[in-house]
Amino acid sequence: MAPSSIAPKARRISYVVPPPPTPPRRLVLPSLDTARHGRTAPILIPVDDKSGGNTPVKASSAASSHPQHRLGVMALALDTSTTLSGRPGPEGILYSGGRDGLLAAWEQGTSMRRRKHSYGYAQGGRNKYHWETITGWDDDTEEDDSDEEWNDVSNPVAEEIIPYEDRWEPDYESLEMSEVRYQDKNAAILAEITCLVKAGKFRQCVQAHTDWINDVVLCNYNQTVVSASNDGTLRAWNPHSSLSSDLTPSIVGDHMDYVRCLGYSRDRNWVASGSFDRTVKLWDLTQPRSDPLTTLELPQDASSAKASVYALATHPSGHVIAAGGPERVVRIWDPRSGQRVSKLVGHTDNIRALLLSDDGKYVLSGSSDTTVKLWSLTAQRCLHTFTYHADSVWTLFSSHPSLEVFYSGDRSGLVCKVDVETCREDLSDAECVVICRDAPDADDGGKSAEGINKIVGMDDLYIWTATSESSIKRWTVPRRKVDRTKDLDSGQGLDHNRTDSPSPVPPFLSQTSGTESPPLAPPSASFTKSHHPRFSVQSSLSGTGTLHSTNTVGPAGQAATPGANGKLYGVPYQSLVRLAPLHETLYSGPSIRRDADIATLYSAVSIRSVPALTRTIQSEGTTPSQPTPTGPSSKPQPHVVTGSAATSHASILSPDRSQAVSPEGKDDFQAAKDAYEDRDLAIQAVPFQVKPNDLIQGTHGLVRSVILSDRIHALTVDTAGEVAVWDLVRGTCEGVYSGDNIGLSSNASNSSAAGGRERERTPREALETVQERIEGEAMCPTWCTVDTKIGHLTIHLVESRAFDAEVYVDDTGFVDVKTFPEDHKVNVGKWVLTNIFAGFVRAELSLVQQQAAAANPNPPADTETTPADPAPTATNPVSIVRGAAPTHINLTPASEGRRLRSASELTPSTTTGKDASDYFTNVKGRARSGSVANDSSQDEGSGATATPGGGFMGRLRNFGKSSKRPVSADATATAIPEHGDAAPAPDSEAAGTSLRAQHLKALNALLSQQLAPTPALEAPPLELPPETAVMISEETSDAGGWTGIYTSVVSTLQDDLESFEMAAPIWLLELLLLNKAPAVPQTKLSFVVVHTDRRSEPIADSSRLTAGRNLRVRKVLQYVKDKLEPVDLARLKPDARDSAKQAVAASSQTNLTPPPDVKPEDLYELLCNDTVLPLTMTIGAVRHYVWRQSGELMMYYRRKSPPGSQPGA
């Protein structure tokens, strides 16, 4: 097809209703038998207006001073190398991506210092076949060396090279100190010690996507954040760039379905994306290109839905890519050739997470079959299966080059740390610590635990967890076992100056807050300072085990023994899970060597008893992986490490173990040790940390919505279970129903069906409950669609249905309707669009007037011309000739000081409506400007500029820039290596030029006419919230269906006319500037109107009528007065005619013909099914809500009875 004949793509107008700036009014639900009487608007009853309305209502939380995640967090990434402006060094920046499409950056304030060795460095060298040795496969390592396929990846590096992104570690010496209190239910404060807890704070954010963000990766020396989303796109965000254009996330690539996972090659500077469309694509970050570098497709025999890609792992050199998904197979590709090298078979369920070692020899996989498997790529087999989880494994994380220290998170919220560094011959010395259980609070409505979506960590100091909640939690973790073992073996305390222990920890990291024994005596604590300022606490508790010693050194300065005080190398036994060798679990005989089939199938054998175990625990009424809190509060308190009293799960799972505390403590120690040796599942252990030490608080976002029958109002429900009523036209919240009120008003059958227990309501059920109680009796066509994908209410309009709905003005909530003609109707779509873009119309009119004043006053019509009309190109657009302004403008005056732009500035590129730095203004703390302070070495990455954070709702302004470009201006200079020609395909370039030329030609023709905006009578002026975000999207074939090309806010639409003109569809511009809109489609309805006395007689032709569905009863009565009654009087029998004439005479009191100025509703009333119909009810609503049957609609009229007489007399 020739480029000139290409049809333009459809474009959609969307606007996002901002949350209310102040807490909305609280509402209570009306009773089920509340009469509507034809009322179209919803029935809204404030709490104070309902007698006896003492329904408990939750207090509204104060609005945050910065944007927050509104829905669950799906992705995390940690930057420990970027130095912000005015800072002495890196302090850590945590990036988060959520289901709300929001990308946010959080400063951690952790002082960093240069590493002397990489994390996991082994002094004296490391056995490169350590995994094979401890898993029993070392006999085959010699033959594996001859496998040349992996030699370029698996050869060990002679000299340690630390990547730029990993050259910093936490500097514990200079970290800020803060007070942390340890609490107990029987003692207000047991102790106050000084330890490291510093809260993260908001830095900046951007609304990057219009759907879930599933994964994020850091690229370009941590200067670029690439995100993958359910909208089918990958976008790159440069939060530190000095260029305002880079602050808008740009599209890197797209898929035909959801983009689920990402991987990054540091050496080749490409990003790999895995999608539900069964492909893995590689995208060049240095050059804009429309096509991926390589597309890796799953084999043809895997064309079913189970062939989706859920997990990716890439090698930094770009030589290996591993992918997994519902196929239960790990596939290995060589991206250089695009060939699939091998596949690893062994999992029995979906593969959700993958890790690849730095040398490219090992892959770690986590699966929904509850196992974590270690694979050898050189031998192409499973080396070991870890089975300590009892639920689906959702995520894995490791900073260790050989994956010998890794974290895993499962669906139940448990996070475990596995450390095998100290193992020599087998896994008997391996350590598995249950770090935490990220679960909702006990007083949070009894919600079930949320699965761990993502884990990131900062050495052995912190880990962050993301779940389906909108908050992010930070947890303290114990040091690597090799460091704690060295401290014990040397008989020394913790030493921060040791070069072979790169990540020592504060004292509180060796303290557990999991359980405590009942105190036998009043607790007391004494503290003495030691020689080191950071490790200055020695504790002595009488009769309680709440606060354990925070140092591994005994009171006399001698080394503590492993297992002392119920701990193993400083970690409590109750938080440990034993990783026994495989043969010890499966066989009771002598030790045997590994068998490949046993290693692969171990997962199916080891979890057979899990269902029975879970049933046993549930029958006891206790959640196995979270102790029962008995402290003063069970809510997470940021910056407070709480040692709440708890019931030990060891007693539940091992009831024969004695829990008594003797003066010598021997029984406690032996019981803890025995329970540990019998424990093989993390669900049986007590978490090392019960409460997080920091909480990045989220808020409650909207998760479901429905439009009410009047098409003016909509209902939404949020993650807290509250239902809000919204005015779609005015963009405001009308009120909120609390979850308690909805629960009290719900059908009693729900609780009876659940056996008397109150069950948790789903969002759909909450909406249905409120809709049933408050919805009015209206019948109106649909003019828009709504969704809550980003946690806010978003309204979408397309040309095909935007103008289908008309409503009566007196049904829209106007207080003074007398200014409008009786039964005046407005087109809802025209009304909304005119008010949203009123600023653009005012600016356009002002521009025309000023151009006319500057031009020759003799020809007043022509305001701008060009001497020639060259062919439109990307660099030479069609010139614009604007027509004269109308003599009368029915709009508010234009604001002053608007900058004019000549038509020659018009370019075909799509941008946002304003410079990004103007609306990235919501920053916690001082404004940031200037450049990011770089490392003193000039060869370690390029600098970057710190930028302010995204403003409230204004951050949406920059969303949707569709033009592809390098991810940053500096990225090309620092990219390694450069790839080939990245020019777009000639056909796509020609098609794009042709579409732009068509748009410019139509725009030129439109602006050359005399402008005539929509008058106020057709679109009454409204005061919309100025922060209402407006988006224009273009239809695409990818997963999202639409791609944003323009975003602004209502208050600044007039600041960039050319950008809006290029993005807006022609039908929208014609509406705004010429008041041209498609005719409203009319749906006809047939009905019959007869006198009540003629029900049994044949229906005359004059009584059979056809009219639009929105015809009101008042108009039907007018027809009765003018046409029907004279005919009916003539057809009546003499006696009946005399009675009717007497009734007419009685009503008029003067003559038989009613005076013409008497309104028909004063004389007649209309009935349907013996129900008197309200005057403002439409016949469509009568048929739907009153008639309620098939067949022809029958309505009857009668004379109103004089006072004191019988009806119809």
CB 218 within 8 A of CB 667: no
Please name which of 418, 536, 563 lies closest in space to residue 478, comparing C-alpha atoms: 418
350, pLDDT greater than 90: yes
Confidence of residue 159 (pLDDT cuts 50, 70, 90): low
Res 724 pLDDT > 90? yes
Q: What is the pLDDT of residues 179-198, one digit of tens each?
A: 444 444 333 333 333 345 67
Work out the pLDDT band at 917, boundaries 50, 70, 90: very low
φ, ψ dihedrals at 1049, nearest 5°: -125, 160
Between these two residues, 756 and 988, which has the higher pLDDT value?
A: 988
pLDDT level of residue 648 (50, 70, 90 thresholds): very low
Separation CA 648–CA 574 (nearest Å): 8
Residue-level pLDDT at 758? 56
Q: Which domains does the chain have, with CATH numbers?
A: 73-119+203-694 (2.130.10.10), 1084-1199 (3.10.20.90)
Q: What strands lie across the sheet with 381-386, from one edge to the other? A: 351-356, 362-367, 372-376, 381-386
- Residue 151, pLDDT > 70, answer no
Find the angle CA(615)-CA(658)-CA(669) to the nearest 5 degrees.
110
Using pLDDT thresholds of 50, 70 and 90, give the confidence band for residue 1174. Answer: very high
Confidence class for position 48, pLDDT limits 50, 70, 90: confident
Q: What is residue 447's predicted lDDT score, i.e. its pLDDT?
A: 60
Mean pLDDT of 31-39: 87
pLDDT of residue 160 exceeding 80, the answer is no
Residues 490 and 558: their CA atoms lie apart, in Å, by 9
pLDDT score of 292 more than 70: yes
Q: Residue 810 pLDDT more than 50?
A: yes
R_g over Cα of the chain: 36
**Higher confidence at residue 1156 or residue 813?**
813
- With a pLDDT cut of 90, the percent of the chain lying above it is 43
Q: Locate tokens 């025309």: which residue? A: 848
The pLDDT value given to residue 140: 66
Q: Per-residue pLDDT for 762 more than 50?
A: yes
First to last CA, the chain: 75
pLDDT at position 1205 is 54
User: In 10 A of CB 992, how many CB atoms?
Assistant: 16
pLDDT score, position 666: 54
Output the pLDDT for position 1102.
81
Say which range, 3-7, 176-180, 206-210, 1171-1175, has the weakest mean pLDDT: 176-180
Rounded CA-CA distance 944/933 in Å is: 8
At residue 512 the predicted structure's pLDDT band, cuts being 50, 70 and 90, is very low
Identity of the highest mean pLDDT range in 207-211, 635-639, 660-664: 207-211
534-539 mean pLDDT = 30
Which among 228-237, 672-681, 872-881 has the top mean pLDDT? 228-237
| Model pLDDT, residue 1154 | 54
Higher pLDDT among residues 586 and 447, named by residue: 447
Query: With bands split at pLDDT 50, 70 and 90, how would you rate the model's confidence at 413?
Result: very high
pTM for this entry: 0.77
Would you state the pLDDT for residue 671? 84
The answer to whether 393 and 367 are in contact (CB under 8 A) is: yes
Q: 206-210, 603-607, 834-838: lowest mean pLDDT where?
A: 603-607
Q: What is the mean pLDDT of residues 626-653?
A: 35
pLDDT reading at 609 higher than 50: no
- Name the DSSP letter for residue 366: E
Higher pLDDT, 377 or 158: 377
Structure tokens at 641: 């490490």
Tokens of 99: 């289901």
- Interval 378-389 mean pLDDT: 93
pLDDT band at 702 (very low <50, low <70, confident <90, very high): very high
Range 419-444 average pLDDT = 83
Q: Across residues 437-451, what is the average pLDDT? A: 67
Evaluate if residue 87 carries a pLDDT over 80: yes
d(CA 188, CA 184): 6
Q: Using H for helix, E for strand and C for coil, what is the string for 917-928?
A: HHCCCCCCCCCC
Which comes out higher in pLDDT, residue 480 or 917? 480
Could you tell me the sign of the dihedral formed by the alpha carbons of 276, 282, 286, 291, in that order?
Answer: negative
* pLDDT over 80 (residue 43): yes
